[in-house]
Amino acid sequence: MTAQTHSASIAAYPSPRLLADVGGTNARFALELAPGKIECIHVLAGAAYATLADALKAYLVLPDVAAAAGLGVRHGAIAIANPVNGDYVKMTNHHWEFSIEALRLEVGFEVLVVANDFTALARSLPLLAEGQKRQVGGGTAQEGAPLGLIGAGTGLGVSGLIPSASGWTALLSEGGHVTFPPMNPEEVAILQYAWTEFPHVSAERLLSGVGIELIYRALVAQCGHAEPVLTAPEIARRALTGECPLCDDVIEHFCTMLGTIAGNLGVTLGATGGIYIGGGIVPRLGERFDRSGFRARFEEKGRFHHYLAAIPTYVITAEYPAFVGVSAILAERLAA
């Protein structure tokens, strides 16, 4: 697979650069052969490998990758779904843990950069083409204003971009772990059920794949009759096909709750440049998300309704946007 990104010079790098986007479920790898020319994309299941080094080395020996790499890869950048503070990384939603320096030595790179995945995704936002995002409500983005980013998948990622005279600064945020705020009696009931499983219910507990399953269990407990145990993909499938009203209620609650957190991010950052929605869940919901209560809830901030009504919200539709951001982070490191 090939992912052509932003317009840039196509003069080849002296050696290909490895790019990776490591989530709690899958690890996506690619080679950047020249600025914006990203090829040899492969998705590896994290559970199939004992360590990130094992997955990375398995990628590098794939036939098309080895052929494109030529004499080898010297530089790499990894976006990972985890805080990155110092050399040691232990994933929250997966069993991998590693030293960045030890990993660099094990795979034989001269330079290896590891960044939070939503920091990398945030860096991609100004580089997304119009066809790589879909606007869902709001007005026109304010030029040179902060941008917000939120995305639900295995967990809930939050970040933002703050403009400065020298460019953009991506926030190292763990905003997915803020305490979940219910907005109506139905959400209070869901929160009360969630408290039976967790002493602290963060936004991520409900706005993620496992969160969809938690919302479903809460609604089943309220309905008073037996329902089958369902996974998040099956809940979403039944909702989208219209075969399960209960599953559709789950997805509606998910979308409106996401609107609350996205609206909070908008007023916190003053993100009049727009709020972007990434992650693996929302893009797959398609028009069901567009007609949900997300946007109405996003704007439901009392006296600040008009402020939020003007802020555009965008669903990121690019297939591999994190590669664009992590490439920019690596390029800055090598230019330093």
Annotated binding residue at 249?
no
* Token digits of residue 226: 């037996």
CB 227 within 8 A of CB 213: no
* CA-to-CA dists, residue 111 to 36, 55, 74, 244, 325, angstroms: 19, 18, 7, 51, 17
Helix or strand holding residue 148 (H, E): strand 147-152
Provide the residue count of the chain. Answer: 336
Annotated binding residue at 73?
no
Annotated binding residue at 20?
yes
End-to-end CA distance of the chain: 31
DSSP state letter for 13: P
DSSP codes joined into one string, 169-238: EE----GGGSBP---SHHHHHHHHHHHTT-SS-BHHHHSSHHHHHHHHHHHHHHHTS------HHHHHHH
Distance of CA 292 to the CA centre of its chain: 20
Annotated binding residue at 47?
no
Strand ranges of the sheet holding 75-80, from the earlier edge strand across to the other edge: 2-4, 37-45, 26-34, 17-22, 75-80, 111-116
Annotated binding residue at 241?
no
Of the candidates 293, 332, 292, 265, the residue with the CA atom closest to the CA atom of residue 120: 332
Token pair 């790179």 in the structure block, residue: 109
Alpha-helical segments (H) within the chain: 52-60, 63-69, 100-107, 117-124, 185-195, 203-206, 209-223, 232-241, 245-269, 282-285, 287-290, 294-299, 305-309, 321-335
Torsion sign (Cα): 151, 113, 53, 2: positive
Annotated binding residue at 5?
no
Of the candidates 10, 22, 12, 7, the residue with the CA atom closest to the CA atom of residue 326: 22
- Which residues are annotated as part of the binding site for ATP? 20-25
- Which residues are annotated as part of the binding site? 20-25
